[in-house]
Structure 1
């Protein structure tokens, strides 16, 4: 993908995101049709589906050779990342959308032969767009985000992680992760992986840790975090498989290395 092509796709995707966001805001207080997927807490609404359908229709009409990897069933069946692939979560943070009417995002990552070229995370209710193009930096609306501060002392770090890390589970020993919580300045959880990536890129959270995400949860965030000098790996420090559900660690490389080495690897069962 050359620069001219990247710029054209970026502008078109940005327009669609703002259109989709406006429609969501217009209908935010209308009665919701809510279903469940894998479990009673895995929610999906008619708004999730209609928003994804909006993107899929526009992409397929405008870019007939592009592929889509998405959450709600409007994408393609992919066995590789060859070509140009749009990875879409129409509403990341559906439980927040249902219960709070805020703290959710539209997340779109656009990859070319497996390389992240474009990333968008749109906080719909706050009308804040985080975006990035490969090699051109990351932005919050029109403000360029600075490179992450690698000099943050570990005891001053802010970490985003949910409570599953601190409960008994089959992946990590919870007492070691509880020690991590004690050793850093603070922990937060926002209920939207996309927004947590955005806050890492903004530098208001130093690292984000999660035990399981799907590609549409992390694709856009990876592109944006990379543009501010951050890294995204599995919790073991391995490269991410863009077609798989996986654990994810993202953020400040210095803080992340210490978390993985001194806490996660010691907590792995």
Structure 2
């Protein structure tokens, strides 16, 4: 069995997240090397790779029996969540990073024997860190986040939609989603899934839909949000696997099932 000393791993991870944030901040105005991946809007920079390499080196040196599931090629082949698995997005919101130099985050989650134990979402430019140890509360810059309120109506909710929901190749009924947008109080998109889960956890928005999230986009956010009582499932209603791209619905438990049953129609 892989040894897992939760407090020690937590402290190491927190130190590395903050240090990686300083690396990014100190060079935010430097010229960028910007490449594309799957399409012209799927951006990656030399900083994404540099930060991921930094985490990979730290983890493999300190915890050689741990595995890494990550976005930019420095991870391992991860087929299950046995043992200890670090799930990392070095810059979540790369388009924001490139174009706006803000509203992006480092997202880091640590799973042990299939359970999300530790999560960090670090809004680098705002210097705001969201952090969680399962069962010990979720925090924003040291202030404990309050549990979600007992009741929430869909008509009084603010919904976040990943901007890619409207692409023509989605296997989803867009008319139904349009009805949902007209039903809720307002709709938002921030361009960083990690920060969107952080905002859910603060209770300043109430639901989130994306059909394109990878495990590194949502893993830390799920641990954070579940700690305050939020619910996150696949758009089919099934549990997340954390191993592949999955259409995701997150929100206050009062409204998640309503959104899936009334407004999500996968083709």
Do the two structures share a fold, i.e. TM-score over 0.5? yes
1:53 aligns with 2:53: yes
The Cα of 1:152 is off from its aligned counterpart by 2.1
Alignment of 1:1-269 (within 5 A): 5-166=5-166, 168-264=168-264, 267-269=265-267
Kept after mapping to 2: 8 A contact 1:49/1:72 = yes
Kept after mapping to 2: 8 A contact 1:168/1:174 = no
SS of the residue 2:210 aligns to: strand
Q: CA RMSD in A?
A: 1.6
The Cα of 1:167 is off from its aligned counterpart by 5.8
| CA displacement, residues 55-76 of structure 1 (integer Å, 9 cap, x when unaligned) | 1101111111111011011111
Q: Distance in 1 between matches of 2:211 and 2:232?
A: 13
The Cα of 1:169 is off from its aligned counterpart by 4.4
SS of the residue 1:85 aligns to: strand
Q: Distance in 2 between matches of 1:155 and 1:57?
A: 47
Structure 1 pair 268/54, CA: closer, same or farther in 2 (3 Å)?
same
Structure 1 unaligned blocks of 5 or more: none
Q: Structure 2 length as normaliser, TM-score?
A: 0.96
Q: Structure 1 length as normaliser, TM-score?
A: 0.95
Q: Distance in 2 between matches of 1:12 and 1:76?
A: 20
Kept after mapping to 2: 8 A contact 1:166/1:178 = no
The Cα of 1:162 is off from its aligned counterpart by 3.0
Kept after mapping to 2: 8 A contact 1:160/1:189 = yes
Kept after mapping to 1: 8 A contact 2:34/2:45 = yes
Q: Distance in 2 between matches of 1:84 and 1:201?
A: 25
The Cα of 1:217 is off from its aligned counterpart by 0.5
Structure 2 unaligned blocks of 5 or more: none
The Cα of 1:149 is off from its aligned counterpart by 1.6
Q: Distance in 2 between matches of 1:113 and 1:232?
A: 19
| Superposition misfits of 4+ residues, deviation over 6 angstroms | none
Structure 1 pair 164/95, CA: closer, same or farther in 2 (3 Å)?
closer
